[in-house]
């Protein structure tokens, strides 16, 4: 595989990379210069509100449409110059199901195997293995139109895996699934990652990006508004704090009168000190408590969650009911 090939003894090339990727429809700029660098074997989540351009990015990287500007490489192949090389290395599960409802789950799988030019024997074997892995053996001979949403989505991913791609694109793999099916899907994605597959994921669910992704990029107004690990993103916006809780009112009073920037909760004997959550800030606070001979009974670090980050970066207000 090109992704695992060593590059003159240096780090292996990224599985997916893009520089200044642009795409417009008419006078509407959808992608306004996107850079990506996704190491092989990692999970990357592209997060953005409806219409942000997530599917557009997936379509360009998977060679379904072409960009207006910039460059992208997938599995070492330029998407514009060597689309066949890209297609041979990737699997794609689109935002909308590719399952044909009129034929059975098994027939859908065999069709994919056919597209991969597998022999009949190999096709039967791969189909049986994948259907079993995705808990679809029992439903295999029923028309796919009778499947539940979760079963269809599992079949979608099983179809994507027929050619054992090393890089897979999942455009909103869990949208519309109930919490249990969503957790099952996360398990499937984690298994793929454990096998060394690179996963490019788009999602509306911040929790999903938090659970699965090594790196997250927030797409807004055609640009990547922020990129980093979930923790890095959470530290980028204010709202984090250290909470100290006391059982001894004297200790509480001593800390409260010295830590003037802290928000007090006299009833709970608790203080909230604004903090970026860094080791340095936490240590200096704990050192100060030690030096002052003040003992807190509980020290808790609160970092803002991804919802805070997302709504801060995309400029919308955080709704009262957030996606959980
Ligand atoms: N073929 C097209 N012709 C014209 N406009 C398009 C086309 N495809 C996408 N767009 C527009 O590009 C923008 C980005 O669409 P895209 O589907 O990439 O968003 P998305 O982030 O995937 O949204 P969602 O979360 O709803 O799936 C939207 O404003 C959409 O209307
Ligand atoms: Mg989309």
Which residues of the chain form beta strands (DSSP E)?
16-25, 28-38, 43-47, 69-74, 77-78, 90-93, 167-171, 198-203, 215-220, 223-228, 241-245, 263-265, 270-274, 298-302
Q: Give me the pLDDT at residue 231, please.
A: 84
Q: Give me the pLDDT at residue 9, please.
A: 58
Ligand 1: which atom is nearest the Cα of residue 53? 18
In a domain? residue 32: yes
Asked if 154 and 229 sit in the same domain, the reply is: yes
Asked if 297 and 163 sit in the same domain, the reply is: no
Q: Of 175, 209, 235, which residue is a domain's last? A: 235
Q: Give me the pLDDT at residue 204, please.
A: 81
Separation CA 17–CA 194 (nearest Å)? 22
Ligand 1: which atom is nearest the Cα of residue 172? 27
- Cα of 59 to ligand 2 centre, how many Å? 10
Angle at 184 between CA 177 and CA 109, to 5 degrees: 85
Asked if 58 and 155 sit in the same domain, the reply is: yes
Which residues surround ligand 1 with Cβ inside 6 Å? 25, 30, 48, 50-56, 95, 204
Which DSSP string do the residues of 99-134 spell out, in sequence order? --TTSBHHHHHHHHHHHTT--HHHHHHHHHHHHHHT
In a domain? residue 191: yes
In a domain? residue 248: yes
Of 256, 207, 195, nearest in space to 47 by CA: 207
- Cα of 115 to ligand 1 centre, how many Å? 28
Pocket test for ligand 1, best of 24, 30, 60 (most atoms within 8 A of CB): 30
Cβ(58)–Cβ(202) under 8 Å? yes
- Cα of 53 to ligand 2 centre, how many Å? 7
Ligand 1: which atom is nearest the Cα of residue 65? 1
Q: Whose CA is nearest to atom 31 of ligand 1?
A: 51
Separation CA 167–CA 200 (nearest Å)? 8
Cβ(150)–Cβ(182) under 8 Å? no
Q: Give me the pLDDT at residue 317, please.
A: 53
In a domain? residue 131: no
What CATH number did the domain enclosing 28 receive? 3.40.50.300
Q: Whose CA is nearest to atom 4 of ligand 1?
A: 25
0.75 cut: is pTM over it? yes
Q: pLDDT in tens for each of the 324 residues of the chain?
A: 444 444 455 677 899 999 999 999 999 999 999 999 999 999 999 998 888 999 999 999 999 999 999 999 999 999 999 999 999 999 998 888 888 999 999 999 999 999 888 999 999 999 999 999 989 999 999 999 999 988 999 999 999 999 999 999 999 998 888 888 888 889 989 999 999 999 999 998 888 998 999 999 999 889 999 999 988 887 777 667 899 999 999 999 999 999 988 999 999 999 999 887 788 989 999 999 999 999 999 999 877 776 777 777 776 654 433 333
Six token digits for residue 274: 């604004």
Q: Which ligand is nearest to the CA of 65?
A: 1
Asked if 56 and 152 sit in the same domain, the reply is: yes
Asked if 296 and 152 sit in the same domain, the reply is: no
Cα-based distances in Å from 131 to 102, 137, 167, 182, 192: 18, 5, 20, 18, 15
Q: How many domains does the chain contain in total?
A: 2
Q: Give me the pLDDT at residue 96, please.
A: 84
Asked if 225 and 250 sit in the same domain, the reply is: no
In a domain? residue 163: yes
- What is the 8-class DSSP label of residue 45? E
In a domain? residue 127: no
Q: Give me the pLDDT at residue 316, please.
A: 62
Q: Which domain holds residue 22?
A: 2-99+147-235
Q: Whose CA is nearest to atom 28 of ligand 1?
A: 51
Pocket test for ligand 1, best of 27, 53, 93, 218 (most atoms within 8 A of CB): 53
Q: Of 205, 235, 265, which residue is a domain's last? A: 235
Asked if 242 and 226 sit in the same domain, the reply is: no
């Amino acid at each position: 595989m090109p992704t695992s090939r060593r590059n003159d003894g240096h780090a292996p090339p990224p599985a997916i990379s893009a520089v200044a990727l642009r795409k417009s429809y008419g006078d509407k700029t959808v992608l306004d210069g996107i850079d990506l660098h996704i190491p092989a074997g990692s999970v990357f989540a592209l997060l953005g509100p409806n219409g942000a351009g997530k599917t557009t990015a997936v379509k360009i990287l998977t060679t379904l449409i072409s960009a207006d500007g910039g460059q992208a490489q997938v599995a070492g192949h330029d998407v514009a110059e060597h689309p066949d090389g890209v297609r041979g290395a990737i699997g794609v599960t689109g935002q909308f199901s590719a399952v044909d409802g009129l034929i059975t789950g098994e027939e859908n799988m065999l069709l994919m195997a056919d597209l991969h030019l597998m022999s009949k024997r190999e096709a039967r074997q791969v189909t049986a293995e994948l259907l079993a892995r995705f808990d679809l053996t029992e439903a295999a001979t029923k028309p796919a139109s009778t499947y539940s949403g979760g079963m269809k989505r599992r079949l979608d991913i099983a179809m994507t895996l027929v050619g054992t791609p090393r890089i897979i694109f999942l455009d909103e793999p869990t949208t519309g699934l109930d919490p249990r099916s969503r957790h099952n899907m996360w398990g499937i994605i984690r298994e793929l990652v454990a096998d060394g597959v690179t996963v490019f994921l788009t999602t509306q669910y911040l929790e999903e990006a938090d659970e699965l992704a090594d790196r997250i990029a927030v797409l807004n107004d055609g640009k990547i508004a922020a990129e980093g690990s979930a923790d890095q993103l959470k530290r980028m916006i204010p709202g984090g704090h250290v909470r100290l809780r006391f059982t001894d009112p004297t200790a509480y009073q001593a800390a409260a009168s010295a830590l003037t920037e802290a928000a007090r909760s006299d009833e709970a004997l608790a203080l909230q000190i604004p903090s970026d959550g860094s080791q340095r800030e936490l240590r200096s606070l704990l050192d100060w408590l030690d030096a002052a001979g003040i003992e807190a009974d509980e020290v808790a670090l609160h970092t803002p969650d991804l919802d805070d980050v997302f709504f801060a970066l995309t400029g919308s207000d955080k709704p009262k009911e957030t996606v959980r």
